[in-house]
Structure 1
Amino acid sequence: MVTPRRFLSDKLCPVRAKRERRKEARPGELIAAALDLFVEKGFAATRAEEVAARAGVSKGTLFLYFKNKEELFKAVVTENLSGRFTEWNKEFEVFEGSTSDMLRYCMRVWWERVGSTKASGLTKLLMSEGSNFPTLAEFYRQEVVRPGHALVRRILHRGIDSGEFAPVDVDHAIYAVIAPMMFLMLWQHSTPMCIDGQAVLDPETFIAVQTEIVLRGLSARPSA
């Protein structure tokens, strides 16, 4: 049996092998560190040297992988948000349930994969700082907002075409679906001023209730 050359090299020089594996992991480590700091401090207040320090590398090392802070932010958005839409669209291509079940699935999985994670703070960041960084705001619109709207539009058209949903203005109905998600993201990353201090808001229950409210409004009914 021939031992792979890379394996022999790793055995003969474990320090070099470890260094190479560390080098391969650095972009992911820098993206993770940047996500933490962008959500904690905002884009403008986050410095490149802070990201590098949190990732355990030098500032110079960060710029070997990302030419500036803007490119690092785009990588954070791509890794944590925009990359999800390809995954969801593939799932919907083979989805065999009703459109109501598809919408329930979409909103529940959104919470599991995005809403409940730190990445949900990126939306609040863009809402508060986007006007100061128009290039990043447009990138976010292209990579997150428009694909997100297209995904919801696809679900709504599926329901209308099958007769499950009443004909509606889809371009406006999209926001009825998105609004509960936006509320949860802002609630998670802001002082919860709009929540009764005595109340307990369970995000999963909130999403489930809001989904049923939307579905009742969309439901096709016999004409009066």
Structure 2
Amino acid sequence: MTDETGDNSREASPRKPRTRGPSPEKTAQTRSCLLNAALDEFVENGFAGAQMSRITERAGIAKGTAYRYFPTKAALFEGVVAEFMAPLISGIGPPEPRADESVGDFLRRSLIPVMTTIETSRRADVARLVLAEGRNFPFIVQAYRREAYDRTIDFVRAAARIAMERGELTDDRLLRHPQLIFAPLWLAMIETGILVPDAPVSGAELLAEQIDLIFPPRR
């Protein structure tokens, strides 16, 4: 058809209505379902044996949707570590005991509550997965150290330094080996998840006992 000026033109096609993306709440829910399904798959089949198809089936989402969140299986594993370990770091807070609070009491107040849920929060599953798979997949260890392990060790080392400055510790063993605080916790995770699963050990209780040994409670 020719208009009055003689130019040829096509009739404009109607614009397609814009489609709204998923809400932030829906996005967060999808991501959470994906990460929980991924942890289930990694725990049951290991990192090498885990399959994205099974993960997405568990989560009830399309495979393409999963890849929009995490482009590779390695990225998905790193997302699992970050997701499940973040509450640990935020729950502990900075190593800043109150002026009227001993370092031992500070460690009890900061560490024991978050470690009480180490099994139910599935943080222990993540830790055991790192132990099982870390030798073959070094990036798994790197992700765990970055998101959790190194931060907790730095936290205890800083607390030990404060205790020495205050005279609450008489030697530097905890400063040199901050791993001493968490050693019973790792033992509990190994016993509960691997060695003696029918008789679970409370990591929080062992942690409390260890803190008491290093920082005897005030009488």
Q: Same fold (TM over 0.5)?
A: yes
Quote the residue 2:211 is aligned against. 211
2:103–2:159 Cα contact (<8 Å) kept: yes
1:33–1:55 Cα contact (<8 Å) kept: yes
Change (3 A) 1:210 1:94: closer
Which of the two has greater helix per residue?
1
Quote the residue 2:62 is aligned against. 58
- The one-letter code matched in structure 2 to 1:191 is L
1:108–1:208 Cα contact (<8 Å) kept: yes
1:35–1:119 Cα contact (<8 Å) kept: no
Instruction: Give CA-to-partner distance per residue, 1:151-203, whole Å, 9 cap, x none.
Output: 1111111111111111213454312111011112212221318xxx8x77444
Quote the residue 1:28 is aligned against. 32
Instruction: Give CA-to-partner distance per residue, 1:52-95, whole Å, 9 cap, x none.
Output: 111111222211111011111111111111453244234x4464
CA separation in 1, counterparts of 2:133 and 2:41?
A: 15
State the Cα distance separating 1:128 from its structure 2 match: 1.7
Quote the residue 2:13 is aligned against. none
Structure-to-structure mapping, 1:36-47, within 5 angstroms: 36-47=40-51
| 1:28 alignment partner, SS class | helix
CA separation in 1, counterparts of 2:200 and 2:188?
A: 13
State the Cα distance separating 1:36 from its structure 2 match: 2.5
Change (3 A) 1:80 1:202: closer
CA separation in 1, counterparts of 2:152 and 2:200?
A: 29
Question: Is 1:118–2:137 an aligned residue pair?
Answer: no
Structure-to-structure mapping, 1:176-215, within 5 angstroms: 176-192=180-196, 201-215=201-215
How many residue pairs match? The answer is 197
Which of 110-119 and 140-149 deviates more?
A: 110-119
CA separation in 2, counterparts of 1:79 and 1:25?
A: 13
TM-score (norm 2): 0.77
State the Cα distance separating 1:19 from its structure 2 match: 5.7
| 1:132 alignment partner, SS class | coil
Change (3 A) 1:38 1:203: same
Identity rate of aligned residues, in percent? 25
Which of 184-193 and 128-137 deviates more?
A: 184-193
Match of 2:75 among 46, 71, 77: 71
CA separation in 1, counterparts of 2:200 and 2:126?
A: 24
Instruction: Give CA-to-partner distance per residue, 1:18-55, whole Å, 9 cap, x none.
Output: 96453442112111221222233322222111111111
CA separation in 2, counterparts of 1:126 and 1:203?
A: 18
Quote the residue 1:105 is aligned against. 109
Match of 1:134 among 113, 138, 150: 138
CA separation in 1, counterparts of 2:88 and 2:22?
A: 31
CA separation in 2, counterparts of 1:58 and 1:73?
A: 18
TM-score (norm 1): 0.75
Structure with higher Rg: it is: 2
Match of 1:147 among 151, 163, 176: 151
Greater RCO, CA 8 A, separation 6+: 1
CA separation in 2, counterparts of 1:84 and 1:63?
A: 27
